[in-house]
Amino acid sequence: MKMSDVSVITKQHLNGNGLGSVVPSLQNALFMAPQAGDTWTKKADMPTARSIFFSSEVNGKIYAIGGYDGIKELSTVEEYDPVTDKWVRKADMPTARMDLSGCAANGKVYAVGGRDKDYFVVSTVEAYDPATDTWMRKTDMSTARVGLSTSVANGKIYAIGGSNGNNYFSIVEEYDPEASENVNFKGKLPVTWGDVRTTLNK
Say what the pLDDT of residue 179 is. 76
Handedness of CA 54, 76, 168, 160 (dihedral sign): negative
pLDDT score for 39: 85
Over 60: is that where the pLDDT of 163 sits? Answer: yes
Backbone angles phi, psi at 97, to 5 degrees: -155, 155
Note the pLDDT of residue 131: 98
| CATH placement of domain 48-193 | 2.120.10.80
Question: How large is the average pLDDT for residues 73-77?
Answer: 98
φ/ψ of residue 55, rounded to 5: -130, 150
Kindly report each contact of residues 60-65 with a partner whose C-beta sits within 8 Å and lies 24 or more positions away, as own/partner. Answer: 60/1, 61/130, 62/6, 62/7, 62/9, 63/90, 63/109, 63/128, 63/130, 64/9, 65/93, 65/100, 65/102, 65/109, 65/111, 65/128
Q: Tens digits of per-residue pLDDT, 78-130?
A: 999 999 999 999 999 999 999 999 999 999 999 999 999 999 999 999 999 99
| CA–CA separation, 156 and 173 (whole Å) | 10
CA distance 157 to 38: 32
8-25 pLDDT, tens digit per residue, is: 333 333 333 333 333 445
pLDDT at 132 over 70: yes
Query: For the chain, which residues make up each domain, given as ranges?
Result: 48-193
Pairing of strands 134-138, 115-116: unpaired
- The reported pTM is 0.77
Averaged pLDDT for residues 172-181: 83
CA distance 197 to 72: 24
What's the rounded Cα separation, in Å, for the pair 171 and 6?
28
